[in-house]
Structure formats: structure tokens, C-alpha cells
Amino acid sequence: MQKLPIGIQTFSKIREKNYLYVDKTEDISNLIENGEIYFLSRPRRFGKSLLVSTLKELFSGNKDLFEGLYIYNKWNWDKKYPVIILDFGKLSYKNPELLESSLNKFIDRLARKYSISLISTELPDKFGELIEEIYESLKQEIVILIDEYDKPIIDNITNLEIAEDNRKILNRFYQVLKASDEFLKFVFITGISKFSSTSIFSGLNNPIDLTLNNNYSTICGYSHTELELYFKEHIKRLGEKESLNYKETLNKIELWYDGYSWDGKNKVYNPFSTLQLFFKREFSNYWFKSGTPTFLMELLKKENNLKPIIEPILATENDLDTFEIENIDPTTLLFQTGYLTIKEKNLKYGDIEYILDIPNYEVRDSLISRIVMAYTNLSDGHLKKLKNKIYISILNKDSKGFLEVLENIYHRLSYPIKGDDEKYYHGIFLVALYLLGIDSQGEVTTYSGRADTIFKIKDKTIITEIKYSSTKSTKTIIKEAFKQIKEKKYYTRYKDENPTYLALAFSKDDIDCEFKERLE
């Protein structure tokens, strides 16, 4: 088995030291053939920097690195281009003064590299002069690769003044690319977020946006085909450790790490989590733990709305396409940072609509737990006691004990979170189950309707109907819930499991529940 490139984003190191490389050069070849300036948005740790590094080696003509890859016999290796890589992850940008100073030093280093003396002193002018002088000196068009172009803004998002000042500097800096078009062979820009055209992209000469382009939806991440092609032996070893057969192992990997899509059709596995999984041979929340931004949690708390994480969300192309620091939309932020993904893409009345949802178990489990912990301020010890109590209550069909746990969580959540209808209570119940470590399915389809929630405790299936009324008593609501379960026959597919039935009732000022072994 080839070594796994854990934490390695340099293409040359991966190839020279025989680390495993998932070949993306067919997509790269198509990019170069069909355009000259591109933008790609993907979440953090999703392979953007490796893609930039691969482009650098390709345009530099380092043929030996590409032996055995798709592009090897399709590229003109005699033609080499000067390549400028601007990686904002390596610059200082805590304030606009540091950002401007870092960019000036970056330009000065490049000038020394190419033995160029610059006359200009203003940042944009210096950048433009550098590009033109390199072109004149080498008589060759230039390739410019910009990685994490938005980092000086995103990392200062909680300080609007600094973020705005950094945005202005970047806007002027990027405008140089438009003015220098005649000297450029290829431009590729990556980031997490796409800002509106009036804020930054007005200076980028209308790059082709690959973010939602179905032709390049798998350019980052691993498709299922790639997973089996490149990681087959790793899958087998993982299965042996987990005591699962090959198919079962694949299904579990898919549940945990697959599900990311930017076109609603082609899905990819999270590359960071997948590599960590095969290296450690243990299922865990690798990507989420690697750096969930604090400002994301703070924004969700500020908005007092958990809807984007407890049920699928309808979004337009415009919702996904722009990011405004002055008025951040939580749904846009969750999508662009990788906590929501496209499940469906539909054309409705001539407009494109998207259905967004959490991509996989890793993200759902981690995100819901982190957010609810932030809302409830439950300590680990308190949460453990609640988990033990709810398990015992469910197994003993103890309505009072079950209700005490729910009320403990609901009362902590209900004040800060908006909502006053059945869907709201249904969503909060799902959140509570996740928080308590109970796997559940919401809106389970049966032949005659949808059961609100079905979950299991130690192989015991509990079919749940949740109802809300602002006028009826909880006792009346409970009767109606059991009646609906019976009439809709939600139990049909679970008959052999002798399921338990749970009616959960919410009125304007009260919560009540009841367990039943049989429906009357």
C-alpha cells in the first residue's frame, strides 16, 4: 500500500516520496483547454492547496512528476511558464497595515527572484509593474495562482472594520489582474467564500466560477469510484479492524464521510477525514475537530435559528453565490464553509433551486452537538447523567423520567430559539436525540404517510408521533397522535420488531408524553 499523504499539500513531495495521489489531472487538463481565469470555492481542508500545487508543477514543466497520470502524454512539456503563487495562508493580515506590508514584501521577493528593479511604490502599481517586467524579461506569459484569497477577510469576520479595510486592499490589488490580462497565460483563484461582484470580484475580470459547475464537481474530494480504485487495500484493512466485510465497511465510510455535492448529482467524500480514517483506522469526527470557526457558532446563536441544521433548506443560486460581510446569511455561510451541501438541484419556473442539507454523519453529529452545547451550556457530566436517565426511561417506558430529561433540554433551548409550530418541536426533538447520542430518522416515509421520528435504543424500535396545538390539552393531543400512528400504519415495516409507540404532545404552555406497547 502507498503511504497516505496526511497533512501534505505539496504535489512534488507526494510524487517524489511515493505518497498516494488521487489523479485529478483530467479535470485540470479540461480546465486549461477551456478557459484562462477561474475561481473555485470549497470548504477548508478539501484539497484546494494541493490543486494549486499541482498546477504550479504542470506549468513549470516538471514532467517527471506526472509520469503515469492522465495528463502525462497530453501536455506540451517543452513549454514552461513563470508561475507566481500567492498563498494568503503564509501572509500576515491581522489588520490592513500588516496585510499591505505583507503583500509589498511578497512583491519585493519576487522582484529579487527575477532580478527586477521596481520603480512604483503604491501596492497595486508595484504588482502591475512586476507582472509586466517579468513578461518583458522572459518573453513568456505568466501563470498566477492565488490560494485562500479570502483569508484576510474571513479570519477577521468578527471585526467588521478590519474585514472591510482588508477587503478594500484586496479589491485594488486584484484589479491589477484585469489590467494585466495581455501578460497572463492562466489565473486560478481558490477560497472558501465567494464575495459579491461589487466587493472583490469586480477586479478579477469575470473569472469562470467552478463552484457549482457540474463538469468539475469532483475536482476536490474523492468520488466513490476513486475511493475503491485508490484505497481498496486500506478499506480491507479497516474492515478487518472493524470486523466488517468489504461492503459493510464501504457503507459505513459512506455514512460518515460521503455526501458532499456541488451539483446535487455527483458526490464526494471528505478527503481530510477519509485519509485520517485510513491512517488511524478509527471512525471519528476528524474534519470538524480540525478547526470549526468560532464566528460560525456565534452567528448561529445570534440568529437564534436552528432550522438550517435540523431540516433540509430551500435555497436559490443567489443564496449560494454571494457572501456579504455586512449582512451574513447563516445558510450561505453554512454552505460555503461545508456544513451544508446540495442534495437536489431543480429547475422551477425557469430558475434554479437547491435543496441543502447536512452532508453526512460526521458533520451532523459534530455540528448539532457543538451548537446545542453552546445553547444549553450543559456540562459533560450533566449530559452523561441525562443520557443514562433517558435510556433507562425509554427501556422501562417511564413517561415521567423521559419527560424530565426532555424538559431539561427543551427549557434550555426554547427561549433562545425561534419557533412555535409542529415542525419546530419536531426539529428540536431530533436535536435533543442527537445530543443524547441516539441515532434517529426524521420524516420516515411509509406507504401511507410519514412517521415523525423513528429511533432505536438497544435494538428496541420506538415509533414517535409529535403533535402540537395551541388550543387543545396535551391529553387530547396524545390520543390524536396514537390514532394517527394506527391509521397511517407507521408500524408496518417494524411489526416483526415489536416496536414501542411514543406520543409526544406540545401545547402552548405544556409538554406531555406517553409510551404504549400496543395500539388500541
Mean pLDDT per 10-residue interval, the chain, length 520 residues:
94 98 98 94 95 98 98 96 96 96 97 96 96 97 96 88 92 90 95 67 72 95 98 97 96 96 96 98 90 71 67 84 75 89 88 92 81 70 85 90 85 58 73 74 56 80 89 92 88 82 85 88
Separation in Å, CA 487 to CA 448, 492, 514: 9, 11, 18
Pairing of strands 83-87, 341-348: unpaired
Fold of 11-216: Rossmann fold (3.40.50)
**Residue 228, strand partner residues:** none
Name the DSSP class of 69: S
Q: Which residue has the cell 487495500?
A: 233
Three-state SS for 344? strand
Cα radius of gyration rounded to whole Å, the chain: 27
Q: Does domain 377-516 have CATH number 3.40.1350?
A: yes
pLDDT at 145: 98
Q: Which pTM does this prediction carry?
A: 0.83
Strands, DSSP E only, in 50-169?
83-87, 142-147
CA-to-CA separations, 452 to 14, 161, 379, 442, 446, in angstroms, rounded: 48, 45, 29, 6, 11
- Joined grid coordinates for residue 161: 472594520
Domain boundaries, the chain: 11-216, 224-289, 294-357, 377-516
pLDDT of residue 197: 47
Q: According to the model, what pLDDT value does residue 414 have?
A: 54
Q: Which residues make beta-bridge pairs with 506?
A: 468, 511
Grid coordinates 472493524 are at which residue? 242
Tell me, what's the pLDDT at 207?
Answer: 84
Provide the terminal-to-terminal Cα distance of the chain, rounded to the nearest Å. 60
